[in-house]
Amino acid sequence: MSKKLSQLGEFGVIDRIRKIAGHSRSVMEGIGDDAAVVSSSEGKDLLLTTDMLLEGVHFTKDMPARGIGHKAMACSISDIAAMGGIPKYAVVSLGVSRRCEWDFVKQIYEGMKKTARKFDVAIVGGDTVRSPGVIINVALVGEVARKKAVLRRGAKVGDLIFVSGPLGGSLKSGRHLRFVPRVAEAQYLVKHFNPTAMIDISDGLAADLGHILEESRVGAVIYENKIPRHPDADSRGALYYGEDFELIVTVSPRKAEGLRDSRKSKFKFWPIGEITARRGCLQFVDEKGRIKTLSLKGYTHF
């Protein structure tokens, strides 16, 4: 008998899908990173990403519609940022009910458009379909210098781990509707600090750092007293709650010196720990110095 998706879990499903999707020569990195990297004709590679937001799962209709539109666009922009790329063109599929009010759709689009414009992204096309609940899918094309995409799989033992901002409480506080994708920060990192791996935090620090560990075949130790938190978030929230869309980045010890020193740095980055050789093992040193091994799980979709 066929298994239900809930029995396989999100990553079980993704692994299986990855196997079916297979590989193609022109594709340098496929399913499993923040965005796919494909070889373009010239000095640039293309980045492709797609994100779907659903009413009742990712947002509710009583949330501000402009914020929902912002989030739909900003999630995809964040994916491109996390690859070290520049977002360029978006196509938007929208599912809405016939009974839906135009004002609601209009505000979603205005929210998307405002955020797109802020990051110089052109919304170039779309599809509209009838649907019982609201569905927004943003597919985004970005660019990155040839072979310069920052993947999840390059972290080395001894690298330092940084995050780009305070974590936790994004959903409860409403920050998930107004976060700023870290395009400028990522560009700054790429330009000056040669990041070895990068990801944006959508499922939570533990889960998303976990992806780096898994893809890079390394481990990590992180320190509770170094992890920046929002005042409304506790340690658990900073570790396990998603939707912060801050970057996790690893850099070599030599490069880390400059990044640690916020007087020299244009943006502030928080060092939270180091990459270790204990493959797949995420250790957490709490404020009392006790060491725990963390689960790599965060929000799972099934």
44 binds a copy of itself (CB under 8 A): yes
Contact 231, 276 (CB under 8 A): no
The residue range among 48-56, 172-180, 185-193, 221-229 that interacts with a copy of itself, by the rule CB under 8 A, is: 48-56
168 binds a copy of itself (CB under 8 A): no
50 binds a copy of itself (CB under 8 A): yes
The residue range among 103-111, 160-168, 222-230, 241-249 that interacts with a copy of itself, by the rule CB under 8 A, is: 103-111
- Per-residue binding string, a copy of itself, 141-160, x by CB under 8 A, is x-------------------
Token pair, residue 32, equals: 């499993």
Q: CB neighbours of 64 closer than 8 A, spacing ≥ 6?
A: 107, 177
Strand partners, 39: 45
Kind and range of the H or E run holding 14: helix 5-21
Token pair, residue 70, equals: 């912002």
Under DSSP, the state recorded for 194 is -
96 binds a copy of itself (CB under 8 A): yes
The residue range among 18-26, 60-68, 207-215, 242-250 that interacts with a copy of itself, by the rule CB under 8 A, is: 18-26
Contact 74, 136 (CB under 8 A): no
Contact 84, 184 (CB under 8 A): no
Q: Which of residues 208-227 bind a copy of itself (CB under 8 A)?
A: none
Task: Indicate which single residue of 63, 64, 88, 229 sits in contact with a copy of itself (rule: CB under 8 A).
Answer: 88
Task: Indicate which single residue of 63, 139, 171, 281 sits in contact with a copy of itself (rule: CB under 8 A).
Answer: 139
81 binds a copy of itself (CB under 8 A): no
Q: Give buried/exposed letters for 258-297 (b at 16+ CB in 10 A, else e).
A: ebeeeeebebebbbbbbbbeeeeebbbbeeeeeeeebebe
Task: Indicate which single residue of 36, 134, 183, 218 sits in contact with a copy of itself (rule: CB under 8 A).
Answer: 36
Task: Output 5 or 277, the one with its CB closest to a copy of itself.
Answer: 5
Task: Output 54 or 63, the one with its CB closest to a copy of itself.
Answer: 54
